[in-house]
């Protein structure tokens, strides 16, 4: 019998946010741990979360290389190599845990691994263990609601550029800007121009021992930040359209019915 590949979400940094399901899988001694690294010389942030939680890797564990590059051919080569490695382990009947920082369904290399594995073997057994993602943890840390009532939220890699982010400021109450590192200064300029710096927060390595929360986002101008950082922006000035249905808006039929009821009294 072939094994199962598990996408094991570990949350963004605090081992206390590892779910019971993920924890139970990680405690098993009979599976193989795999985890993504950007370079074979770099440590795995996901593995570090598990180790800080006091979990012990099984005898067999191995890094899988997912380089940070936009070179499509290079990426495809590495995804294929990772999927072939996992496929060989599964074929031997071993269950494989792929450790994921944050949530396995949110901008995670697990998505590529699972897709290529399915391309190699349409019958591959795969399970995804849901987890806490970075922006949920960041909101909790800041005691800042991600959304309330009829708020709209956009989760956006900042790489779409300043013009795209500016447009979204008009359409969404909350922007979660991921992967902000290369564009941080430009984003700060945009937020200053739109009067939104006071409504913005920066969180780096949420939940880890070196977590950094910055309330004065303007103070980050010119600073170098870690790749694992994000911006949360609430736009209280957003012009809302009419709601057809929603928590705060009654439909015209409901309003008419209410009026008829009050007239009947
Ligand atoms: C490849 S995505 C991984 C997302 C992750 N799977 C999740 O569920 O949040 C990497 C981006 O997520 C955000 N991120 C991930 N972990 C983070 C953390 N611990 N603290 C702050 N931002 C984080 C950053 O914007 C980073 O550039």
Is 253 part of a structural domain of the chain? no
pLDDT of residue 78: 93
pLDDT of residue 249: 61
Is the distance from the beta carbon of residue 136 to the nearest atom of ligand 1 less than 6 Å?
no
Expressed as residue numbers, the domain containing 225 is 135-234
- Residue to substitute in 14, 75, 134 for testing ligand 1 pocket (most ligand atoms within 8 angstroms of CB): 134
Is 240 part of a structural domain of the chain? no
Mean pLDDT of 234-253: 76
Residue 33 pLDDT exceeds 70: yes
177 & 122 share domain: no
Is 241 part of a structural domain of the chain? no
- Residue to substitute in 99, 102, 220, 226 for testing ligand 1 pocket (most ligand atoms within 8 angstroms of CB): 102
The mean predicted confidence, pLDDT, of the chain is 94
Is 244 part of a structural domain of the chain? no
Residue 211 pLDDT exceeds 70: yes
111 & 41 share domain: yes
208 & 166 share domain: yes
| Ligand 1 closest atom vs CA 103 | 8
Confidence grade of residue 263 (pLDDT, cut at 50, 70, 90): confident
96 & 203 share domain: no
108 & 142 share domain: no
Compute, in angstroms, the gap from residue 223 CA to the centroid of ligand 1: 19
Compute, in angstroms, the gap from residue 50 CA to the centroid of ligand 1: 16
pTM of this structure: 0.91
pLDDT of residue 203: 98
Compute, in angstroms, the gap from residue 45 CA to the centroid of ligand 1: 11
Question: What does residue 3 show for φ and ψ, rounded to 5 degrees?
Answer: -85, 180
Residue 41 pLDDT exceeds 90: no
35 & 124 share domain: yes
pLDDT of residue 248: 63
**The domain that contains 65 carries what CATH number?**
3.40.1010.10
Residue nearest to atom 2 of ligand 1 (CA): 107
Is 264 part of a structural domain of the chain? no
Is 245 part of a structural domain of the chain? no
Last residue of a domain, one of 132, 159, 184: 132
Last residue of a domain, one of 132, 151, 178: 132
Compute, in angstroms, the gap from residue 28 CA to the centroid of ligand 1: 27
Is 16 part of a structural domain of the chain? yes
pLDDT of residue 50: 98
Is the distance from the beta carbon of residue 106 to the nearest atom of ligand 1 less than 6 Å?
yes
89 & 200 share domain: no
Compute, in angstroms, the gap from residue 213 CA to the centroid of ligand 1: 14
Cβ contacts of 134 within 8 Å, gap of 6 or more: 12, 102, 106, 178, 203, 206, 228, 230
Compute, in angstroms, the gap from residue 136 CA to the centroid of ligand 1: 10
139 & 171 share domain: yes
Is the sign of the CA dihedral 112, 113, 116, 122 positive or negative?
negative
Is the distance from the beta carbon of residue 205 to the nearest atom of ligand 1 less than 6 Å?
yes
29 & 89 share domain: yes
Residue 220 pLDDT exceeds 90: yes
112 & 223 share domain: no
Residue 63 tokens read as 């890094």
Compute, in angstroms, the gap from residue 244 CA to the centroid of ligand 1: 34
pLDDT of residue 247: 65
184 & 69 share domain: no
**The domain that contains 181 carries what CATH number?**
3.30.950.10
Residue 226 pLDDT exceeds 80: yes
104 & 213 share domain: no
Number of domains composing the chain: 2
Confidence grade of residue 189 (pLDDT, cut at 50, 70, 90): very high
Is the distance from the beta carbon of residue 34 to the nearest atom of ligand 1 less than 6 Å?
no
pLDDT tens readout for residues 141-183:
999 999 998 899 999 999 889 999 999 999 999 999 999 999 9
Compute, in angstroms, the gap from residue 229 CA to the centroid of ligand 1: 6
pLDDT of residue 116: 97
Is 251 part of a structural domain of the chain? no
Last residue of a domain, one of 116, 132, 148: 132
pLDDT of residue 250: 63
pLDDT tens readout for residues 59-103:
999 999 998 888 899 999 999 999 999 999 999 999 999 999 999
pLDDT of residue 246: 66
Residue 244 pLDDT exceeds 80: no
pLDDT tens readout for residues 105-146:
999 999 999 999 999 999 999 999 999 999 999 999 999 999
């Amino acid at each position: 019998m072939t094994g199962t590949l598990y996408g094991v979400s570990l949350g963004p940094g605090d081992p206390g946010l590892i779910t019971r399901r993920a924890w139970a899988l990680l405690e098993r001694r009979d599976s193989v741990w795999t985890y993504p690294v950007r370079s074979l010389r770099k440590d795995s942030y996901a593995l570090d979360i598990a180790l800080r939680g006091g979990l012990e890797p099984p005898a067999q564990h191995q890094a899988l290389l997912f380089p940070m590059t936009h070179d499509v051919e290079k990426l495809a080569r590495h995804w294929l190599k990772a999927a072939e490695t996992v496929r060989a382990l599964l074929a031997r009947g071993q269950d494989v845990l792929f450790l994921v920082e944050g949530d396995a369904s949110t901008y995670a290399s697990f998505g590529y691994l699972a897709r290529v594995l399915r391309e190699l073997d349409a019958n591959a057994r795969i399970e995804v263990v849901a987890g806490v993602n970075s922006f949920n943890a960041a909101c909790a840390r800041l005691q800042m609601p991600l959304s309330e009532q009829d708020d709209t939220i956009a989760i956006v890699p900042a790489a779409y550029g300043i013009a795209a982010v500016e447009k979204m400021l008009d359409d969404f109450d909350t922007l979660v800007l991921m992967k902000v590192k290369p564009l941080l200064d430009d984003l700060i300029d945009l937020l200053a121009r739109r009067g939104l710096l006071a409504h913005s927060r920066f969180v780096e390595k949420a939940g880890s021992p070196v977590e950094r929360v910055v309330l004065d986002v303007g103070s980050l101008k010119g600073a170098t930040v870690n790749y694992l950082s994000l911006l949360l922006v609430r736009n209280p000035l957003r012009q809302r359209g009419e709601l057809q249905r929603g928590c705060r808006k009654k439909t015209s039929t409901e309003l008419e019915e209410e009026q008829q009821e009050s007239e009947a009294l």
